[in-house]
Each structure stands twice: as structure tokens, then as C-alpha cells.
Structure 1
Amino acid sequence: MPEEFEVPSPHEQHVEHTTHHAHAKGDSFASKIAVMTAIMATVGALMSYQAGSTESEAAMDKNNAAIQKTEAANEWNYYQAKSSRQNLSELASHLPGLDSAHYVAEARRYAEQKEEARKKAETLELQAREWDEKSEQVLHQHHRWAQAMTAIQIAISLAAITLLTRKEWLRRVSFGAAGLGVMLGSLAWLHI
């Protein structure tokens, strides 16, 4: 019966040799990369949560601005209606045969109501602008969180490649990307 034997390739021999030595003496390089990756994944998850949270907050603020704008438009429509009634009352006060005093009083009443509507509409417009500004600030913060999260994801990918290639320079680049992610996350946290 012919004997079968396998001739391992040089690559297989290298992988087996590296694996054997790594298990024999404890692979601190791989352990450090694994811990670093776990920490980066945790930080990335926190950043992802913050990015989603700020995105939702920006959308809510924008929605509040839209509500205020709609209410302001309603008040301006009310203002226009009172203006039209005031104009008609002023016109009627000058027509012969009608109770002039009644229409003058009506014109004054419409003018007062119109002024109240104007003030309310301007206040609502101011509130809408404030909501819009807040939304823009929170959206900027969201972008910072998203940038930080992207840098952390790149660092994790580089750490995986580092583990496969065992290149020290690549590990430093991974640390750099993680540092950039932490810096961007800090800027987001500080609203910068």
C-alpha cells in the first residue's frame, strides 16, 4: 500500500512555527493588540451612541423650529385678516348713512388685535430662529461624534492588520488613529 505523505509549503511551515512559539512563550504582542482592540471597540460603541443621540436631538430641534415657524405664519395670517377688517372698518366709517362711531371703534379694536398678533408672530419667529440655531449646533456636534467614530473604526481595522502582519509601525499608526478618534470625541464632548 503506497504511503501518503504531505509536504508543507514554506508559508504553512512559517505559520506553524510562529503559532507554536507564540503559544509556548505567551504572545504579548497579540495580547496587547487584542486588549487595545477591545478598548477601541468599547470607546467606538460609546461614540456611536452619542452620534445617534445628537442626531436625534438635532432632528427634534429642527422639528420644534418648524412648529414655531408654522405658528408664526398662522399669526401673520391672523394679522393680515385683522388688517383687512381694520381697513374695511375705516372705509365704512367714511361712508354716509352708516354709524361712523361704531366703525371707528371697530377699526381701533382691529388695530389693537393686529398689534397683538404682530408681537406674537415676531416672538414665534425669534423662537424658531433659536431652535434652528440649536439644531445647527447639535448637528455640528453629531458630525464630530461621527468623525470620532470613523477614526476609531479605522484604528480597529489597522489593529487587525497589525495582528496579521506583526508590523510595529502599523501598530503605531493604529494608535495614532485611535488617538485622533479620542481627540475628535473630546471636541464633540466639549461642543467644539
Structure 2
Amino acid sequence: MATEYEVPSPHEHHLEHVAEHAHGSGDNFAGKIAVMTAIMATVGALFSFQAGSTENAAAMNKNNAAIKKTEAANQWNYYQAKSSRQNLAELAATIPGVDSAKYNAAAERYKSEKEDIRKAAEKLEEESKAWDELSEVKLHQHHRWAQAMTAIQIAISLAAITLLTRKDWLKKISYTAAGASVILGSLAAMHI
């Protein structure tokens, strides 16, 4: 029966040595980075959710603005039709031999109806503008959440590199990026 021998590579030997040394000396560098990375990933997931939510809200508000704009355009078309009928009634009233009182009354009726239609169209345009403004606010908020998400992703990437290189200065940059992410997320939450 043959006995198998495993000959560790120099790389494997080095990794075992580093792991034993780190564990034996109470080095918790990797543990701290791992915990921080998990926290950053959780914060990133929350930022990502908020970014998607505000983007959807911005799209819905933009859609509502478009609907109101279309309704306003329909009202303006209706207004134009009433104007045409008013003009025709006024023209008909000037034709000799026709009942001018009938056409003058029709022209006044169209003129009166146009006023209500104009008010409705202007109200719909104001509603459309309000939906557009709300969409812009949500879109700005979405951009803030996206910036926060980008910063936290950079922080996580730097934390991974820090874990590999064990460079303290990289850890500080990673934590700084995470801090910037939290600031951007706070600005988004405050609608700034």
C-alpha cells in the first residue's frame, strides 16, 4: 500500500504561517475589516433600495406630468374648436337675411364656454408643472442615493484591497469613503 505525501507549496506554507502568526499574536486586523465590510455592504443595500425607490417615484411623477400635459393639450384643442365655432357664428351673424340674433347668441355661448375650457386647460398645465417639479426633486434625491451607493462600493473595494495588502493607510481611505457615503446618504434622506 502506497503512502501519499503532500508537499505544501511555498505559498501555502506562507499563508499558514501568516494565519498562525495573526491568530497567535491577537491580530484582529482581518476581523475588523470583515466586520466593517459587512456593515458597509448592509448600508450599501439600503442605499441601493432607496436609489431604486426614488428613481421609480421620479418616473411615476414624470408620467403623471405627461398625462396632465396631454389632458391640457386636449382642453386647448377643445378651446380652439369653440373659438372656430364662435368665429363662424360671428361671421354668420353678419350675413344679410339670416337670424343674426340666433348667431350672436351662439357666439356669446361659445365665448362663455371657452372661458371655462381655458381655465380647465390652465389648471391642467399647472398640475403638469407641479408633477414635473416633483419628478425633478425625486430625481435629484435619486442621484444623491446613487452617489452614496457609489461611494460605499468604492469603500468596499478598498476594504478588500486593504485585507489583501494589510495597509493601514488603505483602511483609512476605505473608512473615509464609507463616511462620505453616509454623508451623501444623509443628504439624500434630507432631500438636499
Distance across 2 between alignment mates of 1:84 and 1:5: 100
Specify the alignment match of 1:120 in structure 2: 120
Amino acid at match of 2:97: G
- Residue 105 of structure 1 deviates from its aligned partner by 0.6
Residue in 1 that maps onto 2:175? 175
**Secondary structure, aligned partner of 1:191:** coil
- Offset of residue 4 of structure 1: 9.5
How do residues 97-176 of structure 1 correspond to structure 2 at under 5 angstroms? 97-176=97-176
Unpaired segments ≥5 residues, structure 1: none
TM-score (norm 1): 0.93
Deviation digits for residues 127-171 of structure 1 (CA, Å, limit 9, x no counterpart)? 111111110111010000001001001111111111111111110
State the shift of 1:13 in Å: 3.5
Unaligned stretches of 5+ residues in structure 2 = none
Q: Which whole-Å CA distance do the structure 2 matches of 1:141 and 1:33 have between them? A: 30
- Aligned match of 1:48: 48
Q: Could you tell me how far 1:9 is from its partner in structure 2?
A: 5.8
| Alpha-carbon distance in structure 1 between the residues aligned to 2:26 and 2:95 | 105
Tell me by how many angstroms 1:14 deviates.
Answer: 2.8
Shift of 1:70: 0.2
1:4, 1:46 → 2: CA distance?
51
Query: Displacement of 1:24 after TM fit?
Result: 3.2
Question: For this pair of structures, how many residues does the alignment match?
Answer: 192
Q: Distance in 2 between matches of 1:162 and 1:129?
A: 49
Considering only aligned residues, what root-mean-square deviation do their CA atoms show, in Å?
Answer: 1.8
Compute the TM-score of the two structures, normalised by the length of structure 2.
0.93
| Alpha-carbon shift at residue 96 of structure 1 (Å) | 1.3
Q: % of aligned pairs identical? A: 72
